[in-house]
Structure 1
Amino acid sequence: MAQQQHDGSSQSSDLLSLLSAWGNNFTTQTSNTFSRLRTQDYIRLVVIIGGYCLLRPYLMKLGAYMQNKQHQTDARASKDEDTVAGAKLTANDLRGRTTQRPKIAIPGVDSDSEDEDKDDWGRAARVRQRKFVRQMLEIHEKKLRDEAEANSDKDIEEFLID
């Protein structure tokens, strides 16, 4: 029993010494690597890191575009399979005597695909805001016209009363 406890403590000390050696090797190698760099190596390092930072957003957008395209083709394929499997009509379906919704998908109905386009995000809100601004401008201009007419009437009254 005492022998097993001794083996466990030696294993933990071996593990600690191994981790310590790895830490020392890492710090030594890192400091030696950066101390040996020439100006050309620093420039190369800056160009590589800068290029990565500049290109990464575009690569991410490209990846997202490709993934979205793949999802759309997969969804279209599964939708086509569902349409083929679910398009079996019965006489009652044609007469409108079914208690279920029709199994045929009508384009544009019950689909939000128009709203999911990336370019149209917030379009309705922008249109609503423009209409609101136009209405407020019209009200303001009408108010200014009414005030101008009232002022012109006051000017005429001065001449008529005297």
Structure 2
Amino acid sequence: MDGIANVVTVLGDRITNNVKGTFANMTAEKWIRLIIIVGAYALLRPYIIKLGGKAQMKKHEEESAEALRGTISPNELRGQKAMVRLPGEDSDSEDDEAQNGESSAADWGKKARKRQRMVIKKLIEAEEDKLRESKEEEEDKDIEEFLLKD
């Protein structure tokens, strides 16, 4: 217990001596420099924060626009297989890396995004299959209708 108290007193003494020594050795030039630096920080800080906010907003808008491009139009679902660009999908290189088993702790976010894209792809394919089957059933009913009239 005495060792901890001794360490605390030594640290306290050193801090007070260093702070006193720093301000005691300040010349007029150093005081002016310190005032200029603190004043510039106080004046420029709001503008820097606004600039950072604008950059963040622009990045957020770009991400939102990219996510909206991944939506499916009804015309794509009615006709051919929908070619949908999923949000965050860049290339097939991630597929190759996942198949080769190359991974690290830094790739965890990539793996989670990849799993999410796979879930979305499966949901889209299931919806396409359901629409395709319903369309085929309607065609079968039309054919049966014509066959029964004869």
TM-score range, shorter chain: 0.3 to 0.5
TM-score, normalising length: structure 1: 0.45
Indicate the structure whose relative CO is greater, using CA pairs within 8 Å and at least 6 residues apart: 2
Q: Give the number of the structure whose alpha-carbon radius of gyration is greater.
A: 1
